[in-house]
């Protein structure tokens, strides 16, 4: 088997079943990517930068290396979003109320987390004296204003308003929001039932694309790669899959050491495509059922389900909680921790653990209730047909 070339097959439906190996890996990676971003931002905020440090300790070099993959983690988010969200929409294109249901799914996915997260930022801002709770602002350049609050809900940060509450990772939420809008507008011209709907969708898609900032449109092809590969199944041997894993790991490490890892720009697009292709090939090669008797698979399912369940919350609220913890811990109010004191590594681990625990607790009344909210809205808009059965739950 190992001497044979991999066999490629196009799928008529994106496979979103939780009993397949690629779905288990997707769940684990959703949680791991959010964890990596949180760990990277915490390290960057409480320790000095590694560049320019005199004789950095070995433990800090290791910490900086392993928390230095946040750039790749964001690319993984985009790829998985395309795979899950875009693939799910394609599966349902010819069902009743498809676009209405899609809109409900996307809005609830974002707002059930973003609205309480922004309220949390306001409360923390009041506690840290970043804002005056007795004063209400509508200024478009005020990161705590009502205008900024609403603008961030609609993905207008970095275009019309600042990121709300100094929560700098929110830039990627603008990307996600507009990819959710663009993809159906891109699909309807090819699948619409009437000529009017096809033309109107194509024109609207063009207008939206021309109105968006360059960085958002630049990475839309990465998101679309996730959609495209969700319809590809690769029959490969175990050795071939391990070769893909080794290639992916080598590319990630090489880019970590030599690439541009600060922002997603036109200078990083090529390196991110190079990273994306083996990543997606790996997912496509794992589209076969899990071994139900494997203890490792069962463990991975449990871990993936747990961390994927609050990965979005962790991504959105880790900075507000970081700001809170910095103000609670006196040594961090005005200064950074020394990277030469091993005891500060314990402070870092304690803060990261606290952020994880607080994010998990924060998700319980909000992100964990996404399906209930969706079904409640759909029952009122579309009747019983619009609701999703409990067994079909998969928050994307």
- Concatenate the DSSP letters of all residues of 359-373 into one string: HHHHHTTTGGGHHHH
Per-residue pLDDT at 392: 44
Mean pLDDT on 300-328: 96
| Integer CA distances (angstroms), 160 to 84, 141, 145, 156, in order | 29, 8, 13, 6
What's the predicted TM-score (pTM) here?
0.94
Per-residue pLDDT at 390: 43
Q: Per residue in 52-101, pLDDT tens?
A: 788 899 999 999 999 999 999 999 999 999 999 999 999 999 898 999 99
Q: Per residue in 121-143, pLDDT tens?
A: 999 999 999 999 889 999 999 99
Residue 292 has pLDDT above 90, yes or no: no
Residue 323 has pLDDT above 80, yes or no: yes
CA distance 84 to 86: 6
Which range, of 29-43, 283-297, 323-337, 375-389, averages the lowest pLDDT? Answer: 375-389
Which range, of 13-27, 231-245, 303-317, 325-339, averages the lowest pLDDT? Answer: 325-339
Per-residue pLDDT at 331: 87
Q: Per residue in 174-229, pLDDT tens?
A: 999 999 999 999 999 999 889 999 999 999 999 999 999 888 999 999 999 999 99
Within 13 Å, how many C-alpha atoms sit on residue 300's CB side?
21
Per-residue pLDDT at 394: 58
- Identify the DSSP state of 232: E
β-strands 7-10, 232-235 pairing: antiparallel
Residue 391 has pLDDT above 50, yes or no: no
Per-residue pLDDT at 50: 84
- Give the tokens for residue 36: 């990596």
Per-residue pLDDT at 281: 98
Which range, of 41-50, 83-92, 306-315, averages the lowest pLDDT? Answer: 41-50
Mean pLDDT computed over every residue of the chain = 93
Residue 3 has pLDDT above 80, yes or no: no
Residue 309: pLDDT band (50, 70, 90) is: very high
**Percent of all residues in the chain with a pLDDT value above 70, rounded to a whole number:** 96
- Give the tokens for residue 159: 């275009």
Q: Per residue in 351-360, pLDDT tens?
A: 999 999 999 9
- Identify the DSSP state of 2: T
Where do the H-state alpha helices sit in the chain? 21-46, 58-66, 70-81, 87-91, 98-127, 146-153, 171-191, 195-211, 214-218, 220-229, 238-258, 269-285, 295-309, 311-328, 343-363, 370-382
Residue 144 has pLDDT above 60, yes or no: yes
| Integer CA distances (angstroms), 69 to 64, 251, 320, 329, in order | 9, 12, 21, 27
């Amino acid at each position: 088997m190992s001497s044979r070339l991999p066999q490629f097959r196009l799928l008529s439906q994106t496979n979103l079943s939780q009993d397949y190996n690629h779905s288990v890996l997707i769940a684990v990676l959703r949680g791991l990517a959010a964890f990596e971003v949180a760990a990277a931002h915490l390290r960057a905020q409480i320790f000095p930068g590694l560049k320019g440090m005199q004789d950095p300790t070995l433990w800090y070099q290791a910490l900086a290396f392993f928390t230095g993959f946040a750039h790749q983690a964001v690319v993984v988010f985009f790829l998985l979003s395309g795979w899950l969200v875009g693939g799910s929409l394609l599966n349902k294109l010819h069902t009743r109320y498809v676009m209405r249901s899609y809109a409900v799914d996307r809005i609830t996915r974002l707002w059930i987390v973003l609205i309480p997260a922004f309220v949390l930022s306001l409360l923390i801002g009041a506690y840290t004296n970043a804002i005056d709770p007795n004063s209400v602002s509508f200024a478009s350049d005020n990161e705590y204003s009502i205008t900024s609050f609403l603008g961030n809900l609609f993905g207008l940060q970095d275009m019309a308003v600042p990121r709300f509450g100094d929560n700098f990772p929110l830039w990627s939420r603008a990307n996600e929001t507009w990819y959710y809008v663009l993809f159906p507008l891109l699909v309807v011209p090819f699948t619409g039932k009437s000529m009017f709907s096809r033309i109107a969708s194509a024109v609207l898609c063009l207008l939206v694309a021309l109105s968006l900032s360059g960085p958002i449109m630049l990475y839309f092809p990465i998101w679309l790669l996730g959609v495209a590969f969700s319809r590809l199944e690769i029959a490969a041997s175990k050795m071939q899959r391990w070769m893909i894993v080794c290639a992916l790991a080598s590319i990630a490490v090489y880019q970590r050491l030599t690439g541009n890892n600060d922002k997603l720009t036109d200078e990083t697009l090529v390196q991110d495509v190079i990273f994306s292709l083996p990543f997606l090939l790996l997912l496509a090669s794992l589209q076969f059922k899990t071994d139900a008797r494997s203890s490792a698979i069962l463990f991975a399912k449990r871990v993936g389900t747990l961390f994927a369940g609050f990965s979005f919350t962790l991504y959105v609220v880790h900075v507000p909680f970081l700001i809170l913890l910095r103000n609670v811990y006196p040594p961090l109010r005005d200064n950074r921790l020394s990277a030469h004191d091993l005891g500060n590594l314990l402070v870092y681990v304690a803060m990261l653990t606290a952020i994880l625990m607080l994010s998990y607790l924060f998700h319980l009344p909000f992100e964990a209730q996404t399906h209930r909210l969706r079904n409640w809205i759909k029952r009122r808009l579309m009747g019983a047909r619009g609701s999703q059965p409990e067994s079909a739950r998969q928050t994307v």
